Chain A
Amino acid sequence: MKVTIEVIAAPGCKSCSAKRSELRDVAISVLGEDNLLWREINVLDELDYAVALGVLSMPAIALNGELRFSSLPTRDQFRAALSTVGSR
């Protein structure tokens, strides 16, 4: 089953784009490219969805529709979260 990874951020957040790319690489290495759906969400385009997820600070990350990080995690934190997401 594919894991949906959603990064919810403010538009124009350039400072974190390199880090997001790193995290995407981590996700690919843990799950495999075919097993993940990576979405970068502009919070202003999907405000209701962000509120429903419980996002209060950004950039936030949700895994399979569940808010897991309210700021960008380290590679190790992200790897650990991805390794448990299948069992939740």
Chain B
Amino acid sequence: MHTIGKVARMAGVSADTLRFYEAEGLLAPATKTASGYRLYDNDAVRRLHFIKHAQACGFTLSDVKELLTLQKKDNTCCEDVRTLVIEKKLQIERKLKALQAMSRALDGLIKSCEGGLSPTNDCPILGALDDSRGEASP
């Protein structure tokens, strides 16, 4: 059994994070001591690594909950999990495209001005952003 502090250190999170995960129904301690201290077993540690790994892949805690539910359900299979992962990839690809469009718009703004010491009321970047025609939009 591990204390909350030890488990938190092993996973690189805070003890508050573990309490939050518990409140969210993601991770429960195996038991509590008579004085109320949480104790975690190796299954809990494994689940915490699962949560951190899933988060690193872009899953939200709500997604993680869904993944964990799928893991427990009898009538689900790998295909259901794979579909969830593909849907997450679609979300990320969409965000990437939006970010790329923003990046291109910023390139346009950067090119519109060579910098210098001109007063800001002559600034082409501020002018472009202020343009009611929205030409600077991606």
Contact = CB atoms under 8 A, between A and B. Distances in A.
Interface residues of B, number: 11
Contacts of A61: none
Interface in A21-62: 43-44, 47-48, 50-51, 54-58
Interface in B76-95: 79, 82-83, 86-87, 89-91, 93-94
A10 B83 contact: yes
Given A54-B94, A56-B94, A47 B89 contact: yes
Contacts of A54: 94
Nearest to B91: A56
Contacts of A48: 93
Nearest to B88: A56
A56 B93 contact: no
B9 interface: no
Contacts of B93: 47-48, 51
B97 interface: yes
A58 B90 CA distance: 10
A12 to B, nearest CB: 6
A50 B82 CA distance: 17
Interface string B90-106: 11011001000000000
A13 interface: yes
